[in-house]
Amino acid sequence: MGEWSRSVTPLVRGFCLLYVIHKYIGTTVITYGPSMLPTLSITGNVLLVERISTRSGKLRPGDVVILRSPEAPRKVVCKRLMGMEGDQVTYVVDPKNSDRCKTVVVPKGHIWVEGDNIYNTKDSRNFGAVPYGLLEGKAFWTFLPRKDFGTLPPKPK
């Protein structure tokens, strides 16, 4: 029993360390789909995500964030943070059919997120402000594909 314990203990400690790093410090995510074009590829990107900014209040509009979908909580989505609680956000209501804009104030405890591809995204324009508790982390580095390796670019004009 003693030899078994000595061989399993480092393995258990290693898994505990990996869990703590994944849950509280950072992780990698794979994103795909059209909502963040041209910033992210439709066929997929591997992003490094840090979780410290969401807990320390260091997020700013313009950051690319990972969050639980308010419509399908098992799904994790990638969007650009456009407004924090108390901010006024102006957005195009229906970009495919008109250029009519609307301004909202982000409620307390919520954020406003939008995809970079306004013509093909489901974001706060569809489901409203998102509770801050659904935030998973801030994406800061593109790992793959190799051609996009590096920091995430700012929102395209």
Task: Establish whether 102 is a catalytic residue.
Answer: no
Q: Is 109 left (phi over 0), alpha (psi -120 to 50) or beta?
A: left
Spot the catalytic one: 5, 23, 35, 56: 35
* Exposure string for 100-118, b = 16+ CB within 10 A, e = fewer: eeeebebeeebbbbbbbbe
Of 58, 69, 75, 79, which residue is the catalytic one? 79
Contact between 131 and 138 (Cβ < 8 Å): no
Q: Which residue has the tokens 């990996």?
A: 18
Q: Distance between alpha carbon 33 and the CA centroid of its chain, in Å?
A: 14
Judge whether 108 counts as a catalytic residue: no
Beta bridge partners of residue 92, listed in sequence order = 101
Catalytically active residues are 35, 79
